A = this chain, B = another copy of it.
Amino acid sequence: MAAGARRGSPLTPEEIYATALRLVNEGGVEALSMRKLAAALDVNPMSLYHHVESKTALIDQICLTMAERLEIPVMDGAPWQERLRALGHAYRRLATTYPALWSYVHTHPELVAAREGGLWDVFLPILRAAGVPEDELLRTADVLHAFVTGLLINQQNGHIGSDRSPEAMDRMFETAIDLILDGLTARHSPAGRAGGGAADEARPAAPR
């Protein structure tokens, strides 16, 4: 285990992942090249291959580390509407923290093959609490997850509205959550919606 030649310390996988993630966040996935990454680490390009199998394996890895940083809120006592909204916001926070990589993940089939980490352990119980019957549960979860995914992708890519102010984005996200809550309520517990309800709190005038 020789000490690093030109650097003080030997290369570590964590260092590689962190730097790669930084490069991706700064210039998108297409701005990540093994040569640039090596330059950023002050190392010969081929040295990377002693710690990483290939570029795609590297990208897989940094996608995983990103996924692990999803901070799932724990709100055990709260009604399902609030829990679902909080989960949506947590998901959105992850997406806006790593925009480029996030879009990348969700357009590459080979990644995220299994349902991502603890997300689904929280998501499904919420839907159960919303009254979604068991035989529609997974399908509904997939649909809602895809909805939010699509909204976030579109927001990041500016495929949306001429007004792209952060406030407009916030409003749009709330509108989306409201639509989902109303849809779930109407479908699975129509009685529960007493004129307004959790979906209608704090929604501004929205001139747009």
Chain A residues in the interface with B (C-beta under 8 A) = 103, 106-109, 112-113, 135-136, 138-140, 142-161, 168, 171-172, 175-176, 178-180, 182-187, 190, 193, 199, 205-208
Contact = CB atoms under 8 A, between A and B. Distances in A.
A159 B135 CA distance: 19
Contacts of A148: 150
A171 B208 contact: no
A179 B107 contact: no
A182 B186 contact: yes
Contacts of A205: 135
Contacts of A147: 146-147, 150-151, 176
Contacts of A184: 179
Given A178-B187, A186-B186, 12 more contacts: A106-B159, A107-B153, A107-B157, A109-B156, A135-B207, A138-B161, A138-B208, A142-B154, A147-B150, A148-B150, A150-B150, A179-B184
A175 B139 contact: yes
Contact of A208 (B139, B152, B153, B190): B139
A143 B175 contact: yes
Given A107-B103, A139-B208, A146 B160 contact: yes
Contact of A179 (B106, B143, B171): B143
A32 to B, nearest CB: 15
A140 B140 CA distance: 20
